[in-house]
């Protein structure tokens, strides 16, 4: 029994993505936009450390809930990523887009996973977090994260054009350790017409953007505490007028 919450055009599901992805219908989605756990902070630190210790470095421990799935090494991360990307590809229409976040440590293995899962790798979209990113004396700032993207087979050269680089700071107010700007998600969604699949929604930043834009959306989150935060956040969003409730059917999930 999965917990399902609906907000206008969006559907939020509490559960593990590898299980939930098998419960959706083939061809339901035109794209995937998601921010999975990178499992990257542990390449120089103990991977079993809490995520706040890896990524906040004492500057806010306890401010956000810990998130799951960040303890894999690169080999297991490749295997796991290939698994969920393969399941997601079956749900996306031919020519549909996969766009998944990663950082510099996991960028090579993420692009490998995109191709192992059968997507056609199309490129990388950098997110420049600006000079507000933490400085490192004597080094270049690690102020960029990346979106590895591909398509489910060929994609016609039609429709709007999205930027190839996004430059904006991390939000001052976040709901998740790895929270990203809603504006960034709106830019990435500009070449997707919906429905959009988000297997690792976290605090539902992609969902917020979809609700604001009137796009149908299905998001998944395994952690109950973070799921509650996502639901509270979505309930506070003012959607566009005259939206139709989501009609996506979940075959094996019952409220």
- The domains located in the chain, with CATH, are 3-235 (3.40.50.150)
Structure confidence by residue, pLDDT tens digits, 108-147: 999 999 999 999 999 999 999 998 878 889 999 889 999 9
- Name the percent of the chain lying above pLDDT 90: 68
Q: Does pLDDT of 97 surpass 90?
A: yes
What is the phi/psi pair of residue 251, to 5°? -60, -45
Query: Are the C-beta atoms of residues 36 and 101 closer than 8 Å to each other?
Result: yes
In sequence order, the β-bridge partners of residue 219 are 12, 198
CA distance 206 to 196: 9
Token pair recorded at residue 74: 């690169």
Across the range 159-177, mean pLDDT stands at 86
Q: Does pLDDT of 5 surpass 50?
A: yes
Residue of 56 and 204 predicted with greater confidence: 204
| pLDDT value for 233 | 95
Task: Mention every residue, 6+ apart, whose C-beta is less than 8 A from residue 139.
Answer: none
| pLDDT value for 192 | 93
Q: Does pLDDT of 32 surpass 60?
A: yes
Q: Does pLDDT of 220 surpass 80?
A: yes
What is the phi/psi pair of residue 207, to 5°? -60, -40
Left (φ > 0), alpha (ψ -120 to 50) or beta: where does 27 sit?
left
Please tell me the pTM assigned to this model: 0.85
Query: Are the C-beta atoms of residues 102 and 140 closer than 8 Å to each other?
Result: no
Of 107, 99, 97, 95, the closest CA to residue 43 belongs to 107
């Amino acid at each position: 029994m999965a917990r399902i919450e609906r907000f206008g055009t969006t559907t939020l599901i509490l559960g593990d993505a590898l299980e939930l992805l098998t419960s959706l219908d083939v061809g339901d989605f035109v794209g995937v936009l998601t921010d999975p756990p990178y499992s990257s902070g542990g390449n120089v630190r103990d991977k079993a450390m809490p995520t706040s210790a890896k990524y906040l470095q004492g500057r806010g421990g306890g401010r956000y809930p810990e998130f799951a799935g960040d303890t894999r090494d690169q080999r297991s991360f490749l295997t796991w990523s290939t698994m969920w990307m393969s399941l997601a590809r079956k749900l996306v229409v031919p020519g549909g887009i996969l766009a998944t976040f990663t950082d510099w440590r996991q960028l090579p293995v993420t692009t490998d996973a995109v191709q192992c899962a059968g997507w056609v790798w199309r490129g990388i979209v950098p997110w420049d977090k600006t000079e507000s990113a933490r400085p490192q004396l004597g080094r270049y700032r690690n102020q960029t994260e990346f979106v590895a993207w591909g398509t489910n087979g060929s994609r016609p050269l039609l429709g709007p054009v999205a930027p190839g680089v996004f430059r904006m700071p991390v939000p001052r107010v976040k709901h998740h350790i790895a929270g990203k700007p809603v504006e960034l998600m709106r830019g990435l969604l500009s070449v997707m017409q919906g429905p959009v699949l988000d297997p690792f929604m976290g605090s539902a930043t992609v969902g917020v953007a979809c609700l604001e834009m009137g796009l149908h959306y299905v998001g998944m989150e395994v952690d109950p505490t973070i799921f509650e935060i996502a639901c509270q956040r979505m309930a506070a969003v003012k959607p566009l007028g005259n939206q139709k409730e989501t009609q996506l059917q979940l075959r094996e999930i019952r409220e």
